[in-house]
Copies of this chain bind each other. A is one copy, B any other.
Amino acid sequence: MQIVITGGGGFLASMLVRRLLDCGVAGKPVTRIITIDLVPCPVIDPRIESIVADIGERETLVRAISPDTGAIVHLAAVVSGQAEADFDLGMRVNIDATRQLLEHARGLGTRPRFVFTSSVAAFGGNLPERVQDDTRTLPQSSYGVQKVIGELLVGDYTRKGYIDGITLRVPTISVRPGAPNKAASSFASGIIREPLAGMEAICPVSTQMRMWLQSPDRAIDNLAHALALDGALLGNDRTVNLPGLSVAVGEMIDALRIAAGEAVTRLIRFAPDPAVERIVASWPNDFDAVRARALGFVADEDYVSVVRAHMASTGSASPAGQNPPA
């Protein structure tokens, strides 16, 4: 099986690439992965072809997508903060490039599996305490609007028989490894990751701000599951609200304290940023996700485990007195 992954240079894509090469899809080995991104795929494996290019360029897609393409995972996006700051860039990448990709998938004539990632930013306005599977989308950011437009297109291309599409509304990923990015939610990883690395972290929102979170490991479980899932189970609604954890920023810091000790948490400095507050506060922070669970999608058990898994994967120090002997 041959898979194309956009945004293939990112950390989530790298993890997905490793998972797919190791485990295949639904028992079938993955023989080739073609990544498209502005940076190369950091995973080194002879089965990987890493195309360093703009997904908005037609030639890139012509080169990447061939009759052998069995599935496409579309992760590339201009993230929330950036799409708000640069409206035209967000429209070009999040809408136009998504459409081009869908057109190329349609052109194959083979109805390939197409996995698209949307976001909690699809929701906004007067939200119920917990978002239900039939809660309407009312995005209050350009990123959210662009993601919902992608969901609609994936749904219609599927209904028309051009692709076999699934959109996952992915919770905010925490703890995301690597450097901060331009997502308004970047701090939701930074306030754990930076202190564990001995660095100061800026928290632009209050401890009361509640978020809907998922660890990178569970996100990969869910992306891999979406590649293997029988599309017919989704009926006439190809968009799935993933399960996750509803965690307040204060609870995230408590979990960091439990996993890594009090001293580490003192590296978090609060510096309110009204622009970030406004965007993040417009997102829902709790979901029912009954349908996703029934379809086999998964969530983390609790946020302390999420912090511990991040520490294990990065080799972060355990709190004093709990260090294993060197």
Q: Which residues of A contact B (CB under 8 A)?
A: 87, 124-126, 134-140, 142, 145, 148-149, 152-153, 155-156, 159-160, 235-237
Contact = CB atoms under 8 A, between A and B. Distances in A.
Most chain B CB atoms below 10 A, which of A87, A135, A136: A136
B87 A124 contact: no
A51 B279 CA distance: 42
Contacts of A142: 156, 160
Contact of A236 (B134, B138, B149, B159): B138
A125 B291 CA distance: 15
Contacts of A148: 152
Nearest to A159: B140
For the complex of A and B, 6 pairs with smallest distance between CB atoms:
A136-B136, A145-B156, A145-B152, A149-B149, A125-B236, A142-B156
A237 B152 contact: no
A145 B153 contact: yes
A235 B125 CA distance: 9
A293 B64 CA distance: 52
Contacts of A155: 139, 145
A129 to B, nearest CB: 14
A125 B235 CA distance: 9
Given A135-B136, A145-B156, 17 more contacts: A87-B160, A125-B237, A126-B134, A134-B136, A136-B137, A137-B137, A138-B236, A138-B237, A139-B155, A139-B156, A140-B159, A140-B236, A142-B156, A145-B152, A145-B153, A148-B152, A149-B152
Contacts of A235: 125
Contacts of A135: 136
Most chain B CB atoms below 10 A, which of A87, A136, A140, A156: A156
Contacts of A140: 159, 236
18 contacts: A87-B160, A124-B236, A125-B235, A126-B134, A135-B136, A136-B136, A137-B137, A138-B236, A138-B237, A139-B152, A139-B156, A140-B159, A140-B236, A145-B152, A145-B153, A145-B155, A148-B152, A149-B152
Nearest to A145: B156
Contacts of A124: 236
A145 B160 CA distance: 12
A47 B164 CA distance: 51
A126 to B, nearest CB: 8
Nearest to A132: B136
Nearest to A88: B103
A148 B149 CA distance: 8
Nearest to A148: B152
A124 B149 CA distance: 16
Nearest to A134: B136
Contacts of A160: 87, 142
A319 to B, nearest CB: 44
Nearest to A150: B149
